[in-house]
Chains A and B, each alone.
Chain A
Amino acid sequence: MISRRDLLKVAGAAAAGAATAGAERAALPAGAAPAAHPESLHEQSSPRRPLEALTADEADLLTAIVARLIPSDPSGPGAVEAGAVTYIDRSLAGPLSSSREAYRRGLAALERYATLSRGQPFRELSPTDQDSLLIDVETGGATASGAGFDGSSAAFFAMLKAHTWQGTFGDPYYGGNQGFVGWAMLGYPGVRTAVTPDDQRLGARPVPLRRSAYDTDLFNKA
């Protein structure tokens, strides 16, 4: 079981990893993105970057949730390492600010639901119990629990999942997909501004390009 302290360290290390030079990163083949397992990160941990919208408790809980949605495992890093929480936090301070309140209420309801239904805070549950609880939330089964979900718990889960996917697989410009772990997971060969006929053959394996759309000076920033 991953403790809360470990998760904090993982989040911090992922943030630190994203700050390292892009040159080596661009040369990494698909699937070789840095930083896989929490254990290997203990020595590298550093303080998490300042939060922009979420409270520290909310960010901790969110980190524990996204660790279950797209887990880090022997096949490679997951949503935590991708910085999905950083993406969500930053977005909630900007373009997704209208969802800030939904996160506040949804996360609080999920935590209450953990205590009501499983007798412990979410982060203290075993991974299996965390998954089982998240299935309740996903299916709407947690809605009528008295935990205080706004409308259906399924709506909160759907929003959280959509944002976690954006933060894992979107352009790193927005704070997620750090180390391009999301694109490596999918085998996406990367953002190119020109694609050859050979790149579009069946069986072709274009050399993965690991850069943000905004790493060139071609485009105005979003």
Chain B
Amino acid sequence: MAQTLKGADVVIIGLGAAGGIACLPLAEAGLEVVGLEAGTWLTRRDFAPDEIRNNVRDWPQAVQKANHEVPTHRANASAPTTRAASHPMMNGVGGTTLHYWAQSWRLNPWDFKVVSETTRRYGRARIPAESTVEDWPFGYEELEPYYDKVEWETGVSGKAGNLKGELDLRGNVFEGPRQREYPMPPLRGTGFTDLMAAAARGLGWRPFPGPAQINSRTFQDRSPCMYHGYCNRGGCHVDAKNGTNVTTIPRAQKTGRFRVVTRAHVTTIDVDARGRVSGVRYVTDGQEFVQPARVVLLGAYVYENVRLLLLSKSKAFPDGLSNNHGQVGRHYLSHATGASVTALFPFDLNTWYGLPAQGVAVDDWADDNFDHAGLDFIGGGNLWIYSDRRPIQAANMNTFGRAPGWGAQWKAFIRQSADRANTAYLQKTTLPYEANYLDLDPEVRDPLGFPVLRITADYRDNERRIAAFIQDKMEAWYRAAGAIDIVRGPLGTMGPNTHAYGGTRMGDNPETNVVDRWGFSHEVPNLGILGGSVMGTSGAHNPTLTLQALAWRTADHLVRSWKSIAE
């Protein structure tokens, strides 16, 4: 029998990158807020520099909810369905900001206006016919104050390249104008990243250090980064990674109006007779609870946001909450980060230490930063070189056809070459398509008996052409820096991804979007949705800072419009 708890003003589902941001402006505005998190608190003592724990065994944690709910995937409606062994995301207060790379990019202004800008510059025909891409309901300048807020409230290190229109080659000259500098200087370079930056400048490109939600110096009394090499899928042992677990969530708790409930496994969102959400149902250790609230903010990861809506069926919403227009699960995409390029150098790179956010970027070939008139695709890619190597990973390096994969010859190769290879991280524009979507799997269920999500998605020509173009650019860059051999990886499939978007897209038109320009449901006025699921385009950069800026903006809107939304 479900136990009904004392009502709250707002209940937030999921205390990760997005929900962990929204709690702060709400609690500071005087609202009583409850945060439901499936995982538990983790501390610095849990963050050992241990490759087996972090990278081989997927960073075991107290609560394995996500790993029991891995979405299935098929390339198209008639392709076979497969299921990965583990989920790319995790449960814990702070969510994936605990162990993510912490690259904290703003989207390029073009990413907000892909349709209108492409049409203006190249003609409407250049947008792939089967794509459902739309312009965002607002431009970069609308989100800029919120980007600024998240950068300064959580702590982001970086170098401005466009300060109120003033360009600076030491930063990203392609970024949209920002009102002020980053609160901290960028993470330092290494011998290798400095070498790569010089090679890029030699090609006439404009390299710059990337932005990171990581302290380059003491910030808000937390330590600077120690560059120890275990940041990649590892938590920070000195709290220099500014996840919501050490920034906005503890500050929200200090108001006395934000209550964190851990080990809360949310199953459904309840709807009242008027078709408004009335609360959230969750299970802890077999006991079911109902947390009533005047407003619900759904802030789980993309897959769980969509799944919870589809599972929350009612008389008013027979096909799932906020799905009377059939848009929940549509316009799904995951970032094309495959099609890797790995280089072999004739000397040691000394990249044993560092972190994935310590590196050098090139945006000359991202978004619409270059002329596409003679090309057969729109968009582009961010080229990212970083300092990160762990022993098991190093021992699994590609042998470039110079040695077999084991035995005495392999051993001789690895003794010489373990520190001589580097793989670039290449994030590329990915578009939403009519045939790419999320729904409930008809067969596979989680341990509570609920269907898991099913991903139906595949890349199209636009993604494949960008991938080949970007691989050419990356190879040129590596060769300019002295690489003697190159191998290219495949673009891969669109299975569960750490950069997922859409499914509850934001837009003014309720026929094609689930939430309005503020992040509130077109169909359910007191239901807000946070996270990458509201984003309609990927751009060529990590999504976290953008979805955090959107979460802050949605919370701000809720505070300003409390009466009309909550009553």
Contact of A171 with B by CB under 8 A: yes
Determine whether the beta carbon of B418 is less than 8 Å from that of A213: no
* B-facing residues in A74-100 (Cβ within 8 Å): 75-76, 78, 95
A187 touches B418 (CB 8 A): yes
**Which of A2-10, A44-52, A114-122, A160-168 participates in binding chain B?**
A160-168
| Segment of B129-137, B282-290, B345-353, B521-529 in the binding face | B345-353
Of the listed stretches A32-40, A64-72, A101-109, A140-148, name the one at the interface; the rest are far from the partner chain. Answer: A64-72
Question: In the assembly, what is the distance between CA of A221 and CA of B418, in Å?
Answer: 28
**Once the chains are docked, how many angstroms separate the CA of A203 from the CA of B195?**
12
Q: In the complex the two chains form, is A192's CB within 8 Å of B228's CB?
A: yes
Cβ–Cβ < 8 Å partners of A134 in chain B: 406
A149 on the B face (CB < 8 A): no
Shortest Cβ distance from B54 into A: residue: A222
CA distance A69 to B387 in the complex (A): 29
State the majority secondary structure of interface residues on B.
loop
CB closest chain-B residue, reference A198: B191
| Given A161-B405, A169-B395, A204:B350 Cβ within 8 A | yes
Asked whether B408 lies within 8 Å of A71 as measured between CB atoms, the reply is yes
- A220 and B45 within 8 A (CB): yes
Which residues in window 185-242 of B have CB below 8 A to A?
Answer: 188, 190-192, 195, 226-230, 237
Contact (Cβ within 8 A) B49 A186: no
B391–A188 CB distance below 8 A = yes
Q: Which residues does chain A contribute within 8 Å of B46, judged by CB atoms?
A: 219-220
Report whether B395 and A171 are in contact in the complex, using a CB–CB cutoff of 8 Å.
no
Interface contact B191-A213, CB-CB below 8 Å: no
Of the residues B352, B396, B410, contact of A188 by C-beta under 8 Å: B352
Q: Which residues of chain B are near A201, meaning CB under 8 Å?
A: 190-191, 350
- Which residues from chain A contact B349 at a C-beta distance below 8 Å? 202
Give Cα A134 to B349, complex, Å. 33
Q: A95-B57, A188-B352 are in contact. Are A218 and B418 (CB under 8 A)?
A: no
* CB closest chain-B residue, reference A164: B406
Contact yes or no, B392 A75, CB < 8 A: no
Q: A170 contacts the other chain (Cβ, under 8 Å)?
A: yes
Q: Which of B50, B191, B391 contacts A204 (CB 8 A)?
A: B191
Out of B52, B188, B195, which one reaches A202, CB within 8 Å? B195
Candidates A70, A165, A192, A195; contact of B411 at CB < 8 Å:
A70
- Contacts A169-B395, A200-B190: A213 and B226 contacting too (C-beta < 8 A)? no
Query: Is B415's CB under 8 angstroms from A193's CB?
Result: no
Most A Cβ at <10 Å: residue of B50, B347, B348:
B50
Chain B, range 21-55, C-beta contacts under 8 Å to A: 44-53
Q: How many residues of B are in contact with the other chain, CB < 8 A?
A: 48
A191 touches B191 (CB 8 A): no
Q: Which residues of B contact A174 (CB under 8 A)?
A: 52
Known contacts being A191-B49, A222-B53, is A165 close to B226, with CB within 8 Å? Answer: no
Q: Is A179 an interface residue (CB 8 A)?
A: no
On whether the beta carbons of B45 and A219 are closer than 8 Å, the reply is yes
**Given A186-B394, A200-B350 in contact, is the A75-B227 Cβ separation under 8 Å?**
no
Q: Which of B49, B352, B395 contacts A193 (CB 8 A)?
A: B49
**Complex-state Cα separation, A68 to B407, whole angstroms:** 6
When the two chains form their complex, are residues B415 and A75 in contact, meaning their CB atoms are under 8 A apart? yes
Give B349's nearest chain A residue, CB to CB.
A202
Contact between chains at A213 and B352 (CB < 8 Å): no
CB of A129 within 8 Å of the partner chain: no
Contact A200 B56 (CB under 8 A): no
| Bound Cα distance from A71 to B408, whole angstroms | 6
Among A166, A188, A219, contact of B47 (Cβ-Cβ < 8 Å): A219
Interface string of B163-187 (1 = CB under 8 A from A): 0000000000000000000000000
**How many angstroms between the C-alpha atoms of A73 and B394 in the bound complex?**
20
- Choose among A70, A95, A168, A202 the residue that contacts B350 (Cβ–Cβ < 8 A): A202
**Closest partner residue, chain B, to A74 (CB atom):** B408
Query: Considering the chains assembled together, what is the distance between the CA atoms of A188 and B397 in angstroms?
Result: 14
B309 within 8 Å of A by Cβ? Answer: no
Establish whether residues A222 and B48, one from each chain, have CB atoms under 8 Å apart when the complex forms: yes
> Is A131's beta carbon under 8 Å from chain B?
yes
- B318 interfacial contact with A, CB 8 Å: no
Q: Output the nearest chain B residue to A221 by Cβ-Cβ distance.
A: B48
A214 proximity list for chain B (CB < 8 A): 48, 50
* A213 and B57 alpha carbons, distance in the complex (Å): 16
Contact of A171 with B394 in the complex, beta carbons under 8 Å: no
Q: Is the CB–CB distance between B406 and A70 below 8 Å?
A: yes
Q: Does A185 make an interface contact (CB < 8 A)?
A: yes
List chain A residues, Cβ under 8 A from B407. 68-69, 71, 131
The listed residue (A71, A173, A199) touching B50 by CB distance below 8 A is: A173
**Is the CB–CB distance between B191 and A202 below 8 Å?**
yes
Chain B residue nearest in CB terms to A194:
B226
C-alpha gap A169/B410 in the complex (Å): 15
Q: How far is the CA of A214 from the CA of B419 in the complex (A)?
A: 25
Could you tell me if A186 and B414 are in contact, using CB atoms closer than 8 angstroms?
yes
Chain A: minimal CB distance from B200 (Å): 16
Q: Which residue of B lies closest to A87 (CB)?
A: B52
Q: Which of B350, B352, B395 contacts A182 (CB 8 A)?
A: B395
- Judge whether A151 is part of the interface by a CB distance below 8 angstroms: no
Known: A200-B191, A200-B387. A166 touches B52 (CB 8 A): yes
A residues in contact with B326, CB < 8 Å: none
Chain B residue nearest to A196 (CB atoms) is: B227
Shortest Cβ distance from B47 into chain A, in angstroms? 7
A-B contact pairs, 8 of them (CB 8 A): A73-B411, A134-B406, A186-B395, A188-B352, A195-B228, A200-B190, A218-B44, A220-B46
5 interchain residue pairs of minimum CB distance: A202-B191, A219-B48, A200-B190, A186-B418, A195-B353
The residues of B with any CB-CB pair to A shorter than 8 Å are 44-53, 56-57, 60, 188, 190-192, 195, 226-230, 237, 347-350, 352-354, 387, 391-392, 394-396, 405-408, 410-412, 414-415, 418-419
New contact pairs (15) apart from A161-B406, A185-B418, A191-B49, CB-CB < 8 Å: A69-B407, A73-B411, A75-B411, A95-B60, A165-B395, A170-B51, A173-B52, A174-B52, A182-B395, A191-B230, A213-B48, A213-B50, A218-B45, A222-B50, A222-B52
